[in-house]
Chains A and B, each alone.
Chain A
Amino acid sequence: MEHTLLDFNLRVMAPELIIVSAAALLVILELLLKESTSRNWIGWLGLLAVIAAGVSVGMEFGHPPYQILNDSYRVDSFSLAFKALLLGGGGLTILFSLAGGKNEQPKPKGEYYILLLAALLGGMMMVSSADLLALYVGLELLSLSSYILVGINKRDRHSNEAAWKYVVLGGVSSAFLLYGMSFLYGLTGATNLFAIQGKMVEMVATQDQAYIYVSLFLMMVGFGFKIATAPFHTWTPDVYQGSPTPVTIFLAVVSKAAAFALVARVLLIAYLPLVSTGAWNEIVSWLLMILAACSMIIGNTAALRQTNAKRLLAYSSIAQAGYVLVPLSTLGFVGFDLFPSLFYYLCAYLFMTAGAFAVADCIAKSCKNDQISAFAGLSRRSPWLAGVMTIFLISLAGFPVTAGFFGKFYLLTSAVGSNQAWLAAAMILTTIVSYYYYFEFIRQMYFRAPDLAAPRVSVSWAAWAVLAIGVTGTLALGLFPDLLLHELGKIDWHSAFAQAQNAIRQ
């Protein structure tokens, strides 16, 4: 029977619809405005839309999975949880952008917020799609919007360079991804992930498996680019450094989290039949573990030699990507129960990374110096900012009392539990290495006399708001992890990897 768009309960798409209509509305409104009118309220409306979408995501929880649009798009607890995370990250980004002090170069405000919303929409589509095409559309919507966002400061040379690199390298990664998808389509004749899974079950039993691996590895290159995991991380330092900081936060948090959800979804649906032949444990797990280990090693060691604050944090985020891959890579050994730990770490990562980048941005703007040396004597110049930064740093380094500690703790437990001692060892050793460079910030802030010529660090109210949210989140999750874990425990993660009741093809 033919299904039309109206046969589905479109209520489940409410968050996406809110974002897309907000974006569309703002485009039209922006056109009607005079050039001289302030565009700040567009940001406010965008933030409002994000909050509204967040509320509607919250209301969706607890329903059984629901598939629409010819099974290509599904709403389940997994996607809802990730949407909540993405909206949180997007909301923080918009909030931070609202700061825009007077001394900043003029920013094309209107389209900036609209593009952010579009990118957010792309991310939400990514985490909800159950079809290669829908998935790719979401990915490109996110990517194309991000390319422009990175280069939004038209007159900033660094921003331009970053955007150019991001476009070219992002294009390459998309090419890899599409090439991999085309193999998958060629093998199975389907783009729906569940249909692919069905075919895959037959194929792993009979055929030569070389093409399956080719498709998998090609797609992993594409995903690796998005997650910024070594050896596909090369764009990250340049782009993170060159982008306007709110955009960096967006890339580091939203784009990365969406890509993680994507990897989990594609691997655990399309390639799940590999488990039965043992190829999962031999190849897929190892692939992810090697990527994880490479990211930890390269991210952490390369960060040792950085002098630019944002660049250093970029390398640190490469390392964090490696940590986040750990639960995913050990899934084959332990089972699905590791999603709470993955998600917990992503939340912790959201708070601490957004916070650390925001502090770095405040200091770089005030001191006109984006080196770590600009942090010198911060504990005396602005003790509050130094204190806040310290909390983010100890969380990034994985010390107790902060969210980062429990995040690492869960990851480590899962690595130990899967008997992958070498991975646990890599985690621990690279974590120790990371102390050195996180320590460098602390040393500058507390043990260096301030430069007498250094201006006062001015922190806008919006930046304070972001920092307050970051600190609250980091400390709350660090002291009372149950706040989040309890909720995560209630989520039915398994449902994300099985057909929904209302599927057309059962």
Chain B
Amino acid sequence: MSAQVALLIPLFPFLAFLLLIFGRRFWGEKAAAGIGIIATFASFAVTLPVLWGSLGKGQTITWSIPWFHLGEKAVFLSMRLEPVNVLMLVIVSGVSFLVHLYSYGYMRKDERFTVFYAYLTLFTFSMLGLVMSANLLQIYFFWELVGVCSFLLVGFWYFKPEAKEAARKAFVVTRIGDVGLFIAIALLYWHVGSFEVMDVKAAVLNGKLTPGIITLTAILIFVGAVGKSGQFPLHTWLPDAMEGPTPVSALIHAATMVAAGVYLVADLFFLFTASHQAMNVVAYVGGFTAIFAATIGVAQNDIKRVLAYSTVSQLGYMMLALGSTGYVAGMFHLMTHAFFKALLFLCAGAVIVSLHHEQDLRKMGGLWKTHRWLGYSFLIGCLAISGIPPFSGFFSKDEILESAYADGRTGLFIVGVLAAFFTAFYMFRLFFMVFAGQARGEKNREPVPRVMMVPILILAFMSIISGFFNTPGDRLAHWLTRTGTATISLEHAPVWISAVAIVVAAAGIFLAYAMYASERISPERVAKSVPWAYQVVYRKYYLDELYRAVLVWPLKGLGWILTGFDRFLIGGLVYLSAWIAQLVGRIGSRLQNGQAQTYVLISLIGFVILIVGLTAGRLFP
């Protein structure tokens, strides 16, 4: 298996992108979808021998060529396929292929069908490039590129004002995280003298970096991950990003791109494990996000928003795992989550299509009777995410709870268990509101096209079996840690942890059943009995409002002040001189309105302030 073959993996979608974007007038719907599907399938097909080589022969493919020089030092374009990268390649190309297939049904008759596929292939290319990179600067390149694709796809239906706003928000909020990542990369380069991940690793392991720098850079990198993976407090963009088409939500905002933050932390795990403080930050932010987003998910009424908060919460789980040195647990959950969350989103998309683009849960219901297969699939997804054995989510979530417990983070362990309760509750609330009872809104249901059902069924199958990749026998764990990325303790934590997790999940499901299926407990009564709590959760802890107050207003304020300065001070003088000019009886001429004098005055004042400010101290000590 040579590196040249592996390089084909991102090449296929890139070629597809070029074909689609330059021929967007030329291709029909079938041809455009065909190009995208074939390209992503080809990528997926090439990842299989890579996976085989890595699994069987323990092969690590590396490749690099000089890219440019910084001073004397060369910076390389490089690739390094360790097990974690291979795992990501398989997930990304596989899910991407299924979503390309699904989109043919979902996006049909859209005016910009070809452009949609073009963006989607560009995203696949960038994401594959991201997980293959072994160079921080290159990672940053692709990191930005996936951000741009996400932006384009969230705002794909630009004619909806919410979509526009969401795209803008997604872009700006993740940029805040990216700045952190960028500073971290610059700092690492400054101290290590290389962008290569392996060089950074060697520097960390040889103790070339001071603990302070390690902690600082690790936390800054985590800031980048927080932005991308929608962790508290930068999570606000992710639920809004649901304004994008549903296949996009499934691919980008559930399975792959948002997991990039988790991947980045895992890829640079040596940096994090070298700093206790950084690990604490990761664990606590992750744990807090997990419970925080899960509680918000309880009170949302838009089917996709519930899933979005659930994604935020699950990503929090993964961060919690990584912060508790549960490297395998985190990556394991990333994988199972990619399958069941993509499944849930694709099902939600099918539900939305069959209800003529209705997204409000309160207007759904009774879909079980008409869409039995969709119901089964959705149920599998819900069981998987809730952590009911033998579905995949049970095994990976169990690993996370075990690693939190084994790491001695009892508080976070309890938080994780609580979040599992909320997860089970809101997922089954969703399930019962959509499928149980009688139809509350739209009565006329469309059947789901077959091309959309195929990916759903494949993902459902994966959601059932992917848990067994690691249990029994810890095969995934052995593979992932083969190159010494992390050490794992193969002693299993007490069995009661699994028991507690199952009981808690079952309790959540039962509560949801009681409230939304058999309706023995009225949800309204519950909401009324703790009105403040419901309000706080419903308004997502008022974070958006807070941000607007703290961040956006001062910025706008500064703009206003400077404009005010422009308008009132300078403008005032303009009006004054114009008024004088009229008084004298002359036509107000813009040429002699005193504006230029003001300009000079500003410069003069600037000059005086500068010279006095900078030299006074020296001249008059």
Contact = CB atoms under 8 A, between A and B. Distances in A.
A225 interface: yes
B605 A231 contact: yes
A161 B603 contact: no
Contact of A433 (B148, B555, B605): B555
Contacts of A340: 71
B190 A416 contact: yes
Interface stretch (B166-174, B228-236, B476-484): B166-174
Given A283-B614, A428-B183, A433-B555, A169 B145 contact: no
Interface centre among A218, A234, A287 (most CB of B within 10 A): A234
Contacts of A291: 610
Contact of B596 (A169, A221, A417): A169
B599 A234 contact: yes
Interface centre among A173, A282, A409, A412 (most CB of B within 10 A): A409
Nearest to B603: A232
Contacts of A424: 183
A482 B68 contact: yes
A94 B254 CA distance: 51
Interface of B is mostly: helix
Interface stretch (A77-85, A262-270, A301-309, A346-354): A301-309
A27 to B, nearest CB: 30
Given A302-B566, A435-B175, A443 B164 contact: yes
Contacts, number: 145
Given A231-B603, A401-B145, A432-B176, A439 B190 contact: no
Contacts of B176: 432
B68 A217 contact: no
A337 B618 contact: no
Interface stretch (A8-16, A45-53, A208-216): A208-216
A161 B590 contact: yes
Interface in A148-172: 157, 160-161, 164-165, 168-169, 172
Nearest to A433: B555
A400 interface: yes
Interface string A239-275: 0000000000000000000000000000000000000
Nearest to B604: A221
A159 to B, nearest CB: 12
A412 B182 CA distance: 10
Interface string A398-436: 011100000001101100110000001000100011011
A485 interface: yes
Interface in A189-239: 209-210, 213-214, 217-218, 220-221, 224-225, 230-232, 234-235
Contact of B168 (A209, A286, A304, A439): A439
A302 B610 contact: no
A486 interface: yes
Contact of A290 (B183, B595, B610): B610
Interface string B484-502: 0000000000000000000
B155 A172 contact: no
A172 B603 contact: yes
A428 B596 CA distance: 32
A480 interface: yes
B144 interface: yes
A336 interface: no
Contacts of B555: 433, 436
Interface stretch (B53-61, B199-207, B556-564): B556-564
Contacts of B558: 301
Contacts of B546: none
Contact of B618 (A165, A282, A439, A480): A282
A489 interface: yes
Contacts of B159: 449
Contacts of A184: none
Contacts of B517: none
Interface in B216-243: none
A302 to B, nearest CB: 5
Contacts of B615: 210, 213, 217, 283
Interface residues of B, number: 54
A185 interface: no
Nearest to A408: B182
B186 interface: yes
Contacts of B183: 424, 428
A294 B158 CA distance: 36
Given A217-B607, A231-B605, A286 B619 contact: no
A485 B611 contact: no
A338 to B, nearest CB: 10
Interface in B563-621: 563, 566, 590-591, 595-596, 598-600, 602-603, 605-607, 610-611, 614-615, 618-619
A279 interface: yes
Nearest to A217: B611
A481 interface: yes
Nearest to A225: B603
Given A305-B562, A400-B145, A210 B599 contact: no
Contacts of A231: 602-603, 605-606
Given A234-B599, A446-B158, A486-B69, A298 B562 contact: yes
A235 to B, nearest CB: 6
B68 A485 contact: yes
Contacts of A221: 603, 606-607
A481 B190 CA distance: 19
B179 interface: yes
A447 B167 contact: yes
A376 B606 CA distance: 39
B618 A302 contact: no
A173 B607 CA distance: 12
B197 to A, nearest CB: 18
Nearest to A449: B159
Contacts of A301: 558-559, 562
B191 to A, nearest CB: 10
Interface centre among A209, A214, A301, A340 (most CB of B within 10 A): A301
Interface in B322-356: none
B368 interface: no
B129 to A, nearest CB: 11
Contacts of A412: 182, 186
B67 interface: yes
Contacts of A446: 152, 155, 158
A221 B606 CA distance: 9
A446 B154 CA distance: 12
A114 to B, nearest CB: 27
Interface in A277-293: 279, 282-283, 286-287, 290-291
B108 to A, nearest CB: 21
A287 B614 contact: yes
A400 B141 contact: yes
Contact of B141 (A213, A282, A401, A432): A401
Nearest to B606: A231
15 contacts: A165-B596, A169-B596, A213-B611, A213-B619, A230-B606, A279-B618, A283-B618, A298-B562, A305-B559, A305-B566, A340-B71, A400-B144, A400-B145, A412-B182, A489-B69
Given A413-B186, A447-B158, 8 more contacts: A214-B611, A231-B605, A291-B610, A301-B558, A337-B71, A400-B141, A400-B145, A482-B67
A-B pairs with the 7 shortest C-beta distances?
A: A231-B606, A482-B68, A234-B599, A447-B158, A304-B559, A217-B611, A400-B141
Interface of A: 157, 160-161, 164-165, 168-169, 172-173, 176, 209-210, 213-214, 217-218, 220-221, 224-225, 230-232, 234-235, 279, 282-283, 286-287, 290-291, 294, 298, 301-302, 304-305, 337, 340, 394, 399-401, 409-410, 412-413, 416-417, 424, 428, 432-433, 435-436, 439, 443, 446-449, 480-482, 485-486, 489
Interface of B: 66-71, 140-141, 144-145, 148, 152, 155, 158-159, 164, 167-168, 171-172, 175-176, 179, 182-183, 186-187, 189-190, 555, 558-560, 562-563, 566, 590-591, 595-596, 598-600, 602-603, 605-607, 610-611, 614-615, 618-619
